[in-house]
Amino acid sequence: MAYRLASPPNISGVHPIFYVSILKRYHGDGDYIIKWHSIVLDKDLQYENEPIAILDRDVRKLRTKEIKSVKVQWKHRPVEEATWETEKNM
């Protein structure tokens, strides 16, 4: 099953058909609402993620080396969507 969604004109480059299997359930707490006025989109309708906080640190030990990781909270994303990134990439 697929749905055709109405979208604002400024994101007309996004395909309007979404399959039900990839949609997520709506949560009314407001954490999933993206503030469009605060996001600057480029001509390909993409924006750059900016880290705003490091929530945790971890060191994974392999046989011959250690890999340092940090848990990053991204701008315009709730804490639940924080991701683990290597420390040297941050």
Task: Render pLDDT for 34-57 as a digit per residue (tens, 0 to 9).
Answer: 666 667 777 777 777 889 999 999
Instruction: Dig out the tokens for 9 from the structure.
Output: 């004109």
- Let me know: does 55 contact 72? Beta carbons within 8 Å: yes
State the pTM of this model. 0.52
Instruction: Spell out the SS3 assignment of the chain.
Output: CEEECCCCHHHCCCCCEEEHHHCCCCCCCCCCCCCHHHCCCCCCCCCCCCEEEEEEEEEEECCCCEEEEEEEEECCCCHHHCEEEEHHHC
Residue ranges making up the domain that contains 64: 2-89
How many domains does the chain divide into?
1
Q: What is the pLDDT of residue 32?
A: 59
Q: What is the pLDDT of residue 34?
A: 64
